[in-house]
Every structure is written in structure tokens, then in C-alpha cells.
Structure 1
Amino acid sequence: MPYSIVETCIGCTACTKRCPTNAITGERNQLHVIDPTLCIDCGACGVVCPPEAILDTYGNVCRSLKKDQWPRAVVIEEKCIGSGCELCINICPFDALSLQHTDRVDDFFGVSTVDEKKCTGCRLCEDVCGWDAIHIFPLKEEIIKDWSELTEEEKQIVARARKALGVV
């Protein structure tokens, strides 16, 4: 099930700019919509949503984070096999990964390196890495807003959205 946007959306367009698959549409100052056929459940939209109007796959409210706290890929160089694999590089929609030489690993072509200015933390690289060499921090569970932090009105809105989505 894809991410969804609830009625507290203010139409700021932050999510549309952050979405790696262009799954989000909407006019400024109006409720936005996520196309379920394009959504890859990455959560990149949720961390930039000021009114916290985005629900994850399970109907949990995504927490808005300050820019310096946004999810980012971290490569564990000792685990990255570098040249010959490049799955993470090929799947990244933002060209945020490339092979670079490092002081620690001396592979002929280098190891995967993250350009933090380009990385949205969409988790595609983490999902595709068969070597457990790349991780996104903070973890997905850490960017979910706890139910106790929601106002009564927000709880009602989320409950209605969950019911509409068929999530209990």
C-alpha cells in the first residue's frame, strides 16, 4: 500500500519537490494526492511535510524533520564491493551515489560514495544492496510520529484515513 496524504495538507508543494518518482501532484494551497502506481513507499515526502499530513504504508503519521535530520544514505566501505556491483548507483533516481576512491578501500574503481546534497533518503539503495553495505539513517521507524503526540482532531483524521485505506 502506498503512502497517502490526509486533509490537513496545506498544499505547500514540499512533498512534490522531494518525491523521487514524481508520484505526488497538486496545486499550491490545495490538497495533494499520491499516485499509488508511482509511490515506492520511501517516505521522502513525509519528512518534509510541515503539517505532518502524510501517512505511511501502515497508516502512521510521518514526522516532519529539520533539513539536517533528513534521512541520508551511509555506506559502510568495508562491506561495499564497489566496482562490479554498482546496484545502488544504478537504482538511485538522483545520481546521489558514485564510485570514488577512499583512503580506507583501494578498489580499482573505488567504492560507493554518497553525495549528501543529492540524497533524499528514499531507501532504494538500501533495499537493493545485497552486501548490507548501505543504510539510511534515521531508520524508518524513527521518522514516524507517535500516536500519543497527535491531537484529538489529528487522531480522528488519521482514523478516517486508515479506515478509507483499509488499514486497521
Structure 2
Amino acid sequence: MAHFITEECYGCLLCTQMCPVWAISGRPFGEHIVKTERCVDCGVCGRICTREAVLDGNGQVVRWMPRAKWPKAVINREVCSGCGLCVDICRKKALTMSGPGYSEAFPTLKPEACLGCGICAAECPSEAIIMEAASI
């Protein structure tokens, strides 16, 4: 189920800028709306909201948390096929292909860029990516 933005929102635009699937629209200092057909239920909008104005699909407040505590993608290179799909779908360019040669390339995570949305893990055809809570 899609997330929902409550009237506690004051229109700072952080959620619109951070949403990995462009599911949130709104004007500065105005009402913001989640497009339910686009929302992938990742929770990024709630984790970035200092007003705690976002409800998850169960009606629970998604609590703000420091970016360092957001989940991060972990890639199992033993299972990874090197297809690069995760690199292509990451809106924040948190994944890049690296390795000794084109046929041996594998994705590498830039942790500071990762939103922890989990889209890469959900779309990985070899199930080589999992999301792990930050170890802080």
C-alpha cells in the first residue's frame, strides 16, 4: 500500500526530491500528495521528513531517522551475474559497474548516495542484492 502525507506537512519539498520513483508532487509550502499508482512503499519519504508527516500503508507514522541509519544495499558478488540492471534503475546513481574487465564487471555501492529504497534488490534477477540496516 502507498504512503500518505498528512496535514503536518509544511511543503519543504525534501520528499519530492528524494523519492526514487517520483511518486510525490507538491508546491513549496503547499500540500503534497503521493501518487499511489507510482509509490513502491520504500519509506524514503518518511525517513527524510523531520515533521513526521508521512504515514505508511498501515497508517503508522514513518519516523525520521538520520541518513547514516538508513538501510543500504549489500551485493553478493558470488551470486551477481553482472547484468548491470541495478546500476540502470538506481535514480541516485548509488551503484556503478567496476571490475577488471567488461565481462568481469560487478556493481559497487556508493553508500553515501544510497537511499535504502530497495528497488535494486527487488529488481535484481539473480537476487544478489539484499537491504541491510545500518550498523551504527
> Which residue in the other structure is 2:91 paired with?
93
Q: Deviations along 1:58-101, whole A, 9 cap, x unmatched?
A: 2222121112112321212222222xx22322322233222212
| Offset at residue 43 of structure 1 (A) | 1.4
Residue 27 of structure 1, CA deviation:
2.4
Number of equivalences: 134
- Whichever residue aligns with residue 50 of structure 1, its letter is T
CA contact (8 A) 1:11 1:29 kept: yes
Structure 1 CA distance, aligned partners of 2:133 and 2:86? 18
Q: Which residue of 2 aligns with 1:157?
A: none
Question: Counterpart of 1:99 in 2: which secondary structure?
Answer: strand
Partner of 1:44: 44
Partner of 2:112: 117
- Return the alpha-carbon distance in structure 2 between the equivalents of residues 58 and 90 of structure 1: 31
- In the alignment, residue 12 of structure 2 is paired with which amino acid? C
Task: Write the distance in 1 (CA, Å) between the matches of 2:26 and 2:88.
Answer: 29
Instruction: Give the TM-score of the pair, scaled to structure 2.
Output: 0.83
Mapped pair 1:134 → 2:132: no
* TM-superposition CA deviations, 1:85-135 (whole Å, max 9, x none): 223223222332222128xxx983321111223322221111112333212
Distance 2:24 2:103 in 1: 40
Rg bigger for which structure?
Answer: 1
User: For residues 130 and 59 of structure 1, what CA distance do their matches in structure 2 show?
Assistant: 31
Q: 1:45 Cα deviation (Å)?
A: 1.0
Structure 2 CA distance for aligned equivalents of residues 77 and 107 of structure 1:
15
Structure 1 residues 1-168: aligned runs within 5 Å: 1-82=1-82, 85-101=83-99, 108-138=103-133
SS in 1 for 2:17: helix
Amino acid of the structure 1 residue aligned with 2:6? V
Is the Cα contact below 8 Å between 1:96 and 1:115 reproduced in 2?
Answer: yes
Q: Give unpaired runs (5+ residues) of structure 1.
A: 140-168
Q: Which amino acid aligns with 2:99?
A: H
Amino acid across the alignment from 1:115? K
Root mean square deviation of aligned Cα = 2.3
Q: Secondary structure at the match of 1:108?
A: helix
**Code of the aligned partner of 2:98:** Q
Report percent identity of matched pairs. 37
* TM-score (normalizing by structure 1): 0.69
* Alignment-mate amino acid for residue 13 of structure 1: L
